[in-house]
Amino acid sequence: MRLKTTAKGLSKIALSCVCAMTVIACAPSDDSITADADTADQVEATTMQSGDNPFMQASDLYLQYPAFDKIENAHYMPAFKAGLAEQVAEIDVIANSEEAPTFENTFVAMERSGAILDRVARVFYARVSAHTNDEVDEIRTELAPMLSAHGDEILLNSKLFARVKAVNDQLDDLELDAESKRLVSETYKDFIGAGAQLSDEDKEKLKAMNSELASLGTEFSKKVLDEVNDNAIVVDSADELVGMSEVAIASALEAGKARELEGKYVLPLLNTSQQPSLASLENRELRQRILDTSLTRGSSGGENDTLEIVSNIIRIRAERAQLLGYDNHAAYSLTNQTAQTTEAVNERLGTLAPPSVANAKREAGELQAMVEADGGDFKLGAADWNFYAEKLKAEKFNFDESQLKPYLEMNNVLVNGVFYAAEQVFGLTFKKRDDLPTYHPDVHVWEVFEADGSTLGLFIEDFYARESKRGGAWMNAYVSQNNLFGNKPVVANHLNVPKPPEGEPTLLTWDEVTTMFHEFGHALHGLFSDVTYPSFAGTSVPRDFVEYPSQVNEMWADWPEILANYATHYETGEAMPRELLDKVLASSKFNEGYKTTEYLAASILDQALHQLTPEEVPSADELLAFEEAALTKAGIKMDEVPSRYRTAYFSHSMGGYSAGYYSYIWSEVLDADSVEWFKENGGMLRANGDHFRETLLSKGGSIDAMTLFRTFRGAEPNIAPLLERRGLNAQ
């Protein structure tokens, strides 16, 4: 989850636990980056023309925090152009140096390149996700092919690659520390994986593919956001909203006013297939309308239909993979992941699918019985599942989610839950910084301190949903820690919590609470980074490892000492009753068959799409039929359990998590095993937190990911705790 504009990184920016990583790539188009003789002058001229452009130098605010109060849309493109030209000139010097290639004059020099580009890209792409507008979207569309070409020009530069290879060939004989040696070997692999050994003709083909993919990806994400906003559910009367809380109904009315629909109620769609309102709405017809609208997003024709884009993306990815010597895009994508092969991923997903579906079918039987007990004469459908699951949960455990919410006020969860856990486990403390500017009034900044009182970094919270913000939850870094430049981290967490009417408290669902803890796990990964090189900072780890530390941090959400500190009634201050907490814990495996099945369905679909050859890729008209056939073949298809994402709005799969949505369950094996380690070693102890930080969280990508895990755990990963957690071991 990070941005890197050095040659090594193909300019990756973390956009999410959608948690979703989008590859941006970065300019010109010749085999070597031969900026003309006037390149340096062009950089200077562009900079001068930009006047007071805040991106032209490091921010003078605390820890280089972005000067959001000075940043305007007009600053982005000039800064990108200046940054591209600057890095072209820097890479040209490296590639054409007459000095023999060394670690310092090649690898360290590349790490130091692209300062302007890094600054503007971090802010711009964070803005695209968190608070976009039409002008920003237009800039993004224009930038996509430029950045793609720029990345290709670095990674396909034959002179630069010759220097990289020369140093790598003598790596065993160089007196370098372990992190420096890893920088050499990983950079070399990145050049190979990006096509550095291709013929000149094939390099040109690759550049064209990358450019088209960049443009298609930008178009896809814009259409997905537009479709979500355009298809919000409009309800004429509050009578149709029976079952929803008064605050939720008031929020729907406010949303109607915001859209100039006076007296109407608007229910915005979230990015997943299922929608939160379906758990409480008694009106079955409305539930069905909401789900139908959600499931048909991007596939019903019209200007926001994405199926043609998806088909093209999948086909071009497959063609690119074969050009690079791989059978398919999934095989290509997995080479840098801990899973390594499609066979390993297929085996893991295939092992988990049967017990998951068996659990879901048992759950469906219980829910059908409840439908009939209530006098219903219909078969349970996907739009009914969450409604009856909540009723069954209340019956089984004598509580439902509405009983929890008064004890889960958002700011209290953050300060006395998330922050308090970090204090107890890692010794951190937090102080609000109202003096630093933000890009939206709902955004807040915190300074993070070590146990000794020294500053660790800055943390930005942006928790409310808005139409200018994409769905999901994610972390990004505005400034990544590294010792090369002496930077301390500035990281941000983003959620999509519906904002209540003015004066009302923000009461969270339990899922939103665990999401807040999860995303802060990513933030800790960024804050604790202690590496030399920017390429290894923070969350710069394999995609199927990056979710692991954040999933571990979820354990503190229901840890008794932590829960007791934050789960207090927003009006009375009374602690959540112990019996209610016991019910929360007792119900932890409830509905787990459904949750696992909807997730596995999306993971299997992602693999199915990306394990195709170019000839096998379905056309736009065939995609939905392919989706159904793939899920049926895998034995994961259940009408009552739709895939967590469908092809037309599967932003993870079309973005940086392509062939990588399996990562969450892959990481959860490590997560569940690590939770067991904490329990075995006394739980919430500073010594345990310090060990986790020292052996794993602080290392970023500077050490092989699985080596980090084994060093922390003292053993190979064990899948048994995951099976126990998800109730998949009791068949």
List active site positions.
Answer: 519
Signed CA dihedral, 9, 12, 13, 17: sign only: negative
428: nearest Cα among 613, 697, 648: 697
CA dist., res. 42 & res. 195, Å (int): 29
First to last CA, the chain: 37
Instruction: Using DSSP, state whether 324 is helix, strand or coil.
Output: coil
| Ramachandran area for residue 362 (φ above 0: left; ψ -120 to 50: alpha; else beta) | alpha
List the structure tokens of 269: 């769609």
CA dist., res. 524 & res. 528, Å (int): 6
Tell me phi and psi for residue 555, to 5 degrees. -60, -30
CA dist., res. 22 & res. 1, Å (int): 9
Residue with tokens 């929360």: 584
CA dist., res. 408 & res. 508, Å (int): 5
DSSP 184-247: HHHHHHHHHHTTTTS-HHHHHHHHHHHHHHHHHHHHHHHHHHHHHHHTPEEES-GGGGBTB-HH
> Going by C-beta distance under 8 Å and a sequence separation of 6 or more, which residues neighbour residue 365?
none
Instruction: Using DSSP, state whether 414 is helix, strand or coil.
Output: helix
| Residue 294, Cβ density class (10 Å: 0-12 exposed, 13-18 middle, ≥19 buried) | buried
> Do 545 and 407 meet the contact criterion of CB atoms below 8 Å apart?
no
| Residue 350, Cβ density class (10 Å: 0-12 exposed, 13-18 middle, ≥19 buried) | middle
467: nearest Cα among 228, 260, 139, 272: 228
- Interior/surface letters 440-470, b for 16+ CB within 10 angstroms, e for the rest: eebbbbbbbbeeeeeebbbbbbbbbbeebbb
List the structure tokens of 601: 């369905």
Residue with tokens 């095989």: 331
Instruction: Using DSSP, state whether 482 is helix, strand or coil.
Output: strand
CA dist., res. 138 & res. 438, Å (int): 23
Q: Write the single-letter amino acid at 243.
A: G
Signed CA dihedral, 720, 722, 725, 727: sign only: negative
CA dist., res. 128 & res. 224, Å (int): 13
